[in-house]
Structure 1
């Protein structure tokens, strides 16, 4: 008999109390290893399987302690989300107060940095340990909107017994991840949480929109900084002459001369003045300038001659990363979910893949080559010396190792690509 599959946290027109009772039956059967009356939503099902494989206790989660005040303060000061906190407060804190919810902002580790909203709900949250400084990642408290959004890198709403830990079944929460446009790095998540009775299908859309506004504000700040560097770079490049690139501290290109246009250069970790091999440019001289770096390629054939080892690190469910190890040092480049998928597939096919083959691998549709070519073009702008095309593959002068998570279910958990899910 075909098993019914749930499609939404709260289906349209469903009675919240009745649906919560039904979810509790689904949850009880799933954690007991029995056949549930319906399959949970795919995002919840995948999360529950992660919790079961990690041995998370559905009665209490894992024990943990909040950060000491001094470490919490340090994380707040060091978070790029502090720049957009006024925006998040302005858009969500008042809504949280009016709807008997709380607004929560976490870092990429799931640590609660800020929490505001209804006093009564904050007291209830205190009893669950949902306090500033506490970790709200999946590994600590099981399936929840914050932790699951940080794993999947997608907005998530979790209602009642969709939470893995039973003490959270009286809650509903909606969360969206936020990324740093300068590095692509996952910064954390913004969340609205409250009693299950406050569930609304519009909450997730609101939280997602506010997260996008926050990312747009960070992008605007970065664009303004880059424009100031661009103004200073023009006379600098005219004095230097020859091939050169001026970048900000994160490698974003402000101006260039004599090189193929690119958006960003993958700089070494802890970039310092001197000589370095860079994936897109080969052997280079790197010099500090105010607000960034002056990068001068030293030889036309240096990319082809250089040997590099690539570590495609997929062990973290929250952030995939590409590390490059060469004679001049070690570099790292955070990967978006889509780019992590593509590089994983290329690593699995050292002889290369055509655009049609990658489209079939990722989308199950060989006709979606335009999307694949656009993504591969973005990748090659960052990692030009590491990737070849016709077909797409890692260059012959590169050794590739893939670092996988111990739990197969944690391999690119955000991915719906048929070729990834079949691994």
Structure 2
């Protein structure tokens, strides 16, 4: 074990040259497989280990081709980030300009879409490839304030030689991911960056707070659309007999009759009018509404057919998903990092796992059963007819296919779950 770890307050209090010398010593030890007296911060250490597993060159600055201007504009106008750009600008640009920083906004693929702030720092950013259309994913650029939050799904500050690639050691950055509350998707990262002398330990807290304001703005807009759908659907549902609900395009219920209000429904990507199977409700009749769908669950029949095949696709590190296939078609759902870990364990243990076993598999602590049960309850809302419990498992008749990355080391790269670390060795 390392004797101690660095912290941002300590780095900020140090002379710039001393901090750089210390961080380079920590990085050199990590590259050589030695244990330094002072270790890297946890987020940085995890990222460095990913870079070492991937074979990223620690001394060579790789650059991918920039996106064409037409593609940048297309991504800008189709991204939910455009809806909250005024919030990000109001919260960060004036501060960034005063502090000799720049604000950078990237999409979920790590492509830079916007950058604003100090003109002098913008010109310095050009030398680092901080330009619209550039690719700043970890696998290309190494540990950084855009690609690393995309993998870890957590706010991360990266200072000087904490960057895995040495050509970025004159730079400091703090980035936080933004999730769209309407569908739970990771939609991008907001980053504040600048020269080493501009580093401040409170920068990360500021960036994180502004991203939360941006997510709150998306949430408020969502509530407004649900209210509009409710005004249309409530009179209609009042005339119906039996179970029915109106949901928006993302599956959020606006009005319900004849049943307890459910949580968000996972809808097929290609939903349309007619009969369709939903993992949480079974066979349903679907009709279009302005701004959403009217869903009427069919009464359960003893001979009702349920889907027979599940594909758990973990081959795309930032987009794990589960697809259920049956006689009525296909249904897909993008998974959160935690749900991807849990389903990976269940896919590799078809006989099932108890809550204590899952807690050990995911957290390395068999006592964390309350957390496991809460997460499995959320999962079973989406996959009620696919997942069984006591023990937790895929139902016995279900055919399960697990799709993993070509390189075992790329399996769920953000995860520290013991079962996943073991899976990377296979």
Q: What TM-score bracket applies, with the shorter chain setting the length?
A: over 0.9
CA–CA distance in 1 between the matches of 2:140 and 2:332? 28
> What corresponds to 1:371 in structure 2?
371
> What corresponds to 1:105 in structure 2?
105
CA–CA distance in 1 between the matches of 2:266 and 2:10? 45
- RMSD over aligned Cα, in angstroms? 2.2
Flag the 1:45–1:224 CA change in 2: closer, same or farther, 3 A. Answer: same
Tell me if 1:35 matches 2:34.
Answer: yes
Flag the 1:260–1:405 CA change in 2: closer, same or farther, 3 A. Answer: farther
CA contact (8 A) 2:63 2:135 kept: no
CA–CA distance in 2 between the matches of 1:36 and 1:60? 24
More displaced, 224-233 or 207-216?
Answer: 224-233
CA–CA distance in 1 between the matches of 2:190 and 2:142? 18
Flag the 1:155–1:302 CA change in 2: closer, same or farther, 3 A. Answer: farther
Aligned length: 421
CA–CA distance in 2 between the matches of 1:410 and 1:43? 17
CA–CA distance in 1 between the matches of 2:52 and 2:381? 40
> What corresponds to 2:248 in structure 1?
248
The Cα shift of 1:309 comes to 1.6
Matches within 5 A, 1:280-291: 280-291=280-291
CA contact (8 A) 1:283 1:302 kept: no
More displaced, 409-418 or 34-43?
Answer: 34-43
TM-score (norm 2): 0.92
Tell me if 1:394 matches 2:394.
Answer: yes
Flag the 1:411–1:304 CA change in 2: closer, same or farther, 3 A. Answer: farther
> What corresponds to 1:381 in structure 2?
381
Partner of 2:189, secondary structure, is strand
CA–CA distance in 1 between the matches of 2:254 and 2:402? 33
Give the unaligned 5+ runs of structure 1.
none
CA–CA distance in 1 between the matches of 2:271 and 2:302? 19
CA–CA distance in 1 between the matches of 2:255 and 2:172? 48
CA contact (8 A) 2:157 2:204 kept: yes
Partner of 1:422, secondary structure, is helix
**CA-to-aligned-CA distance 1:259-279 (integer Å, 9 cap, x gap):** 453112221122122222111
The Cα shift of 1:186 comes to 0.7
Partner of 1:286, secondary structure, is strand
> What corresponds to 1:261 in structure 2?
261
Tell me if 1:18 matches 2:18.
Answer: yes
More displaced, 408-417 or 116-125?
Answer: 408-417
TM-score (norm 1): 0.92
> What corresponds to 2:170 in structure 1?
170
CA–CA distance in 1 between the matches of 2:339 and 2:87? 30
Flag the 1:93–1:303 CA change in 2: closer, same or farther, 3 A. Answer: farther
Give the unaligned 5+ runs of structure 2.
none
> What corresponds to 2:78 in structure 1?
78
CA–CA distance in 1 between the matches of 2:365 and 2:142? 34
Tell me if 1:315 matches 2:299.
Answer: no
CA contact (8 A) 1:276 1:286 kept: yes
Tell me if 1:362 matches 2:362.
Answer: yes
CA–CA distance in 2 between the matches of 1:255 and 1:384? 21
The Cα shift of 1:382 comes to 2.2
CA contact (8 A) 1:273 1:286 kept: yes
**CA-to-aligned-CA distance 1:124-167 (integer Å, 9 cap, x gap):** 01112110111111122111111010011111111111112221
